A and B are shown apart, each in its own frame.
Chain A
Amino acid sequence: MPTWGMAIDLDRCNGCEACVVACRTENNVAPAGPEQAALGRTVEWMRVERHVKGEFPNVRTRFVPVLCVHCDDAPCVSVCPVSATYENPEGLNAQIHPRCIGTRACAQACPYTVRYFNWGTPKWDAPLEQTINPDVAVRWKGIMEKCTFCVQRIRRAKDNAREDDRPIADGDVQPACAQACSAEAIVFGDLDDPESAVSKLSESARAERPLEELGTGPRVFYLKEGDWRGSVGPQSSD
């Protein structure tokens, strides 16, 4: 049974946000519109944060794609009064939409602020609803939603593998964000498979797990930016 995980290489990421829109299109996340966005109601399962340090002209910027890290010991799972979120056997932090009653305790408890609430009913101006991906449920008002590691793609890959009578190979499952990324910064796969690309990256000296010290057990880890010290000699790369 695989344990799904993801590596995001911050040295490759250039902040283009293709992952953001890819996720939105794949998972039927409706835009909030100008008024609601101004009130801070945008739902963005994947968002790119920009952390800037320094003063002109010595400015250092870091782009960090932020998504649900599918914690091994998730604060959101503990606080949900109705078990609407739980950790499934493959390590995914799953959200059960029909069970959710909208207390938003999970959202407050999440230290990554990656859970999103449907304040109103998601709106599609006709005929934009034609772009809705039938593989993913459309949510309704009053419930929480968040990144699922594109569970619909995991399912499809499993179905294909079963049809072909073979195990899932590394790279069979590509969440929308990983697929769109031109810099190949997002790598997804089975952390339990030592040969998988994501497992190998997890051993990198540059790897760090966000807010790991809180004991959440995140399954997304970031690879820190490298240094350039001339092409002669060792580099900060893997």
Chain B
Amino acid sequence: MKRRDFLKTTVVTGTAGVLFDACAPPGSDQIIPILIPEEEFIPGVEEFYPTNCVECPGGCGLLARKMDGRLVKVEGNPAHPISRGASCVRGQALPQAMYHPDRVRGPLMREGARGAGQWRNVSWDDAIERLVSELAAVQEDPSNALAFLTGALRGHRLDMVRRFTSTFEATRHLVHEPFGDGAVLRAHALTTGVEEFFAYDLENANYLVTIGASVLDASRSPVRFGRGVGHLRQGRPGRRGKLVAVQPRLSTTAAAADEWLPARPGSEASLVLALAHVILRDELYDTGFIENRTSGFEEFRARVLADFDPELVAGMAGVSVETLERVATEMAMHGPTIVVAGDAAVTGPTGLGTAVAVDHLNALLGGFGKKGGIFFNQDPPFSEWPSLETVVPAPEALFANLTKESDASSGIRALLISDTNPVHTLPSSAGIDGFLSEIPFVACFTSFVDDTAQMADLILPESTPFERFDDDVPSPSVGIPVATLSAPMFSRPLYDTMSMPDVLLRVAAGLGGTVAEAFPWASYEEALRAAWSGLHAVSRGSVTESTERRFWSRALAAGGWWDEDVALNADCLTSDGLYRFELPALESIGLDRTAAGDTSRFTLYVYPSTAFGDGRSAHLPFLQELADPMTSVRWGSVVELNASTASELNISDGDLVEITSDTGSLRVRAQITQGLRPDVVALSAGQGHGEYGRYARGRGVNPFSLLQATTGSDLFEVPLQATTVRVTRIKETS
């Protein structure tokens, strides 16, 4: 729908959910929602309510269409800077999440053994009471720690979690986001001092190279990238940009690209530096940027010219010298050029090196701060919540924790889990099962009983984004401050559910003392509103109003606040304000790292699924029914094998095969493809849930069960292309 229509309908109907100043009861400070109760709908009248999507890190602002008192459709919010009216497969399937037959309808307490799946319905009072008592036990004994395990949260949901954990003395914040590209964040921090995803001005770029990141299907921000690449391709008459994808497998991104470079897994960093070599050798780099805005260039140049000649790298990477030379020259001559890294390429031993190398390549091309280049996120100017004299625990990657020698779960008395599913997305060899079993009390905030919630003692049913107040600061963003805001579109939740921050507030109230004092709000809505008052105070951006009350209602109606007039910037936050050509991180990417080993073994490449991502959308039947864009598989899994590899192994299309790693094995049907390196075997993440509702349960296979958990504390996530496997055909008796 167009912007004009959106404004018309929301002003007329959507803001039925909010009271304007003129109609507020005198003396009241609260917004009294006058959503038309679901039973009293007007047939045929459609209403649109803004909401934010949490299915992937993209953070699209959405519009939910309500007809006859029901959620019937989801669209992109045309005004939202990330989605601009568009959406993706997972966003489109969201109404099914709302009305899913297997939603948790009320708090559940475990009966029987952990993991047995037997639950008893309890009231919220009982659930809160249980939580309070368990957390009180944590407070009593200093050797007891609280741990909060989440995904990569953002916005004030993250702030609530951090605030809550900080009120406990012994406390930890564990983060598990399997495709979270943590190495990229770390790289950015090392090179620019900005530990956030960059914003890319795709609309003005001419050349886009992705190192490993399936930017158009499932990584990071597919809707924003889809729009940017579409524009790069055909949005400017007379100019057509080029997309190059460096991946071992032909993903939809690589398929849509103009050129696919099937680099050997683990060789990406060397390949990137080989491209840099050409640019350095032929002096095609942006001298102005290098001389004025960077430090450590000379050492970097010397190192790259010495060690990363394309002649040396080509054979190892599996990409010809001509191609490397040509692509490097094109990148330098036909800019503006943007290079992006992500997914499997930034995991494992060479992951950080790859991410750093990509940053350096961007620096060579002078993209930082230029049109068609790279900019940094700008945080919306929220008001701070009342400060506490507590220490907020630094987030620790769960995976890194588990793979350390020491006992990861020691001291944890209570574990709260929200927005993550580690039992599904961690290799069993990482020891997640043992970790959980050591912890006396596990509670899970979730709308569905998934693999992890199955192992909990208490399930706290989370309201869907359509039924709760929430906000989000998308990252990666587009360089301007963007804050998404959503409010309930129904007068009450469909079931007896509560949003996680609201539960924390009630628990805090129940715990009393300093914990309760840290949360001086009656509801999360209040807390949000307090933070958002800062956006009102700056009197700029997409929503400006004279009073805070009007601002809040307008922001709710618009679905958020953003400021398109802010100047973009790429000001590094390093100590000297210069871009740093960081070198130590490149030490780990020696050229011999990816020497061919046992030829009977293949590298297992795990990638996020277009429909399911890391698996969190696998419970939706529309997405299971969807034919995967590259494999055309519905309701299942396949393992992809290169055609020549398959014929060597005597495997035909559709044969049942067994994939065995050092830590696990699974059986799945094979699919022969030309879009894969011969030494690689590819499995999509997302399926193979033990538990996640009737549509996902026991369906397909989970490649995480095969992955090796390599020890080492420099790892952020599970290495997604560092495991080797054997493949054998299984004779079927039929």
Among the 9-residue stretches A20-28, A75-83, A113-121, the one with 4 or more Cβ atoms under 8 Å from chain B is: A20-28
Cβ of B73 within 8 Å of any chain A Cβ, yes or no, is: yes
Flag if A182 contacts B70 (CB, 8 Å): no
Chain B binder among A89-97, A128-136, A138-146, A213-221:
A128-136
0/1 string, B87-108, CB within 8 A of A gives 1: 1110111011011110000000
Q: Do residues B230 and A16 form an inter-chain contact, with CB atoms below 8 A?
A: no
How many angstroms between the C-alpha atoms of A21 and B620 in the bound complex? 11
Question: Contacts A31-B624, A236-B240; is A180 near B642 (CB within 8 Å)?
Answer: no
B330 at interface by CB-CB < 8 Å = yes
Stretch at the interface among B380-388, B508-516, B533-541, B626-634: B626-634
Beta-carbon contact of A59 and B70 below 8 Å: no
Q: Is A190 an interface residue (CB 8 A)?
A: no
Contact A171 B626 (CB under 8 A): no
> Which of B67, B99, B334, B622 makes the CB contact (< 8 A) with A135?
B67
Residues of chain A in range 57-86 having any CB-CB distance to chain B below 8 Å:
57, 59, 61, 63
B26 within 8 A of A: no
Q: Which residue of B71, B86, B240 is within 8 Å of A237 (Cβ)?
A: B240
Binds A, one of B161-169, B252-260, B436-444, B451-459: B252-260
**Interface: A196 (CB within 8 A):** no
Cα-based distance from A33 to B223 in the complex (angstroms): 27
The reply on A98 being an interface residue by CB < 8 A is: no
Interface size on B, residues (CB 8 A): 89
- Distance in angstroms between the alpha carbons of A37 and B627 in the assembled complex: 10
- The chain B residue sitting closest to A22, CB to CB, is B92
Residues of B near A185 (CB, < 8 A) are 230
Interface residues of B in 33-83 (CB under 8 A from A): 43-44, 67-68, 70-76, 83
User: Shortest beta-carbon distance, A46 to chain B, in Å?
Assistant: 11
B238–A56 CB distance below 8 A: no
Question: Does B1 have its Cβ within 8 Å of any Cβ on chain A?
Answer: yes
Residue A13 CB within 8 A of the other chain: yes
Q: A21-B93, A183-B230 are in contact. Are A32 and B625 (CB under 8 A)?
A: yes
Contact of B632 among A9, A22, A26, A50 (CB under 8 A): A50
Contact between chains at A234 and B92 (CB < 8 Å): no
Indicate if the CB atoms of B634 and A42 lie closer than 8 Å. Answer: yes
CB distance from A86 to the nearest CB of B (A): 26
Bound-state CA distance A183–B629 (Å) is 16
Q: CB distance A37 to B89 under 8 Å?
A: no
Q: Does B115 contact A (CB under 8 A)?
A: no
Q: Which residue of B lies closest to A223 (CB)?
A: B234
* A236 nearest CB across to chain B (Å): 6
Beta-carbon contact of B240 and A25 below 8 Å: no
- Whether a CB of chain B sits under 8 angstroms from the CB of A11 is yes
A12 contacts across to B, CB distance below 8 A: 229-230, 233-234
A contact residues around B83 at 8 Å (CB):
182
Return the contact of B623 from the options A21, A22, A235 (Cβ within 8 A).
Answer: A21
- Complex Cα distance A59/B227, Å? 24
Chain B, residue nearest A32 (CB): B625
Of B413-421, B422-430, B550-558, B673-681, the one touching chain A: B673-681
B240 touches A174 (CB 8 A): no
Residues A56 and B674 in contact, CB atoms below 8 Å apart? yes
Q: In the assembled complex, which residues on chain B have CB atoms less than 8 Å from the CB atom of A14?
A: 216-217, 226, 229-230, 252-253, 255-256
Let me know if B234 and A11 touch, CB within 8 A.
yes
Query: Which residue of the partner chain A has the closest CB to B645?
Result: A56
> A132 and B92: CB pair below 8 A?
no
Whether A174 and B234, one on each chain, are in contact in the complex, defined by CB atoms closer than 8 angstroms, is no
**Which A residues lie within 8 Å of B222 (CB)?**
16, 182
Assess whether A238 is interfacial by the CB under 8 Å rule.
Answer: yes
Q: Does A172 contact B (CB under 8 A)?
A: yes
B256–A18 CB distance below 8 A: no
Chain A residues with Cβ under 8 A from B521's Cβ? none
Residues of A near B297 (CB, < 8 A) are none
Inter-chain contact A31/B622, CB cutoff 8 Å = yes
Chain A contacts of B44 at CB under 8 A? 134
Q: Which of B2, B70, B217 contacts A130, CB < 8 Å? A: B70
Task: Please report A residues at the B interface, Cβ cutoff 8 Å.
Answer: 9, 11-18, 20-22, 24-26, 31-34, 37-38, 42, 44, 47-48, 50, 52, 54-57, 59, 61, 63, 125-135, 160, 171-172, 174, 176, 179-185, 223, 226-228, 230-232, 234-238
Per CB-CB distance, the 6 closest pairs between chain A and chain B, nearest first, are: A183-B230, A182-B226, A61-B255, A182-B86, A34-B635, A31-B625
A–B complex contacts, Cβ < 8 Å, 16 sampled: A12-B234, A14-B255, A15-B252, A17-B627, A18-B223, A21-B622, A50-B255, A56-B262, A56-B677, A59-B255, A132-B72, A134-B72, A174-B1, A179-B76, A180-B76, A237-B239
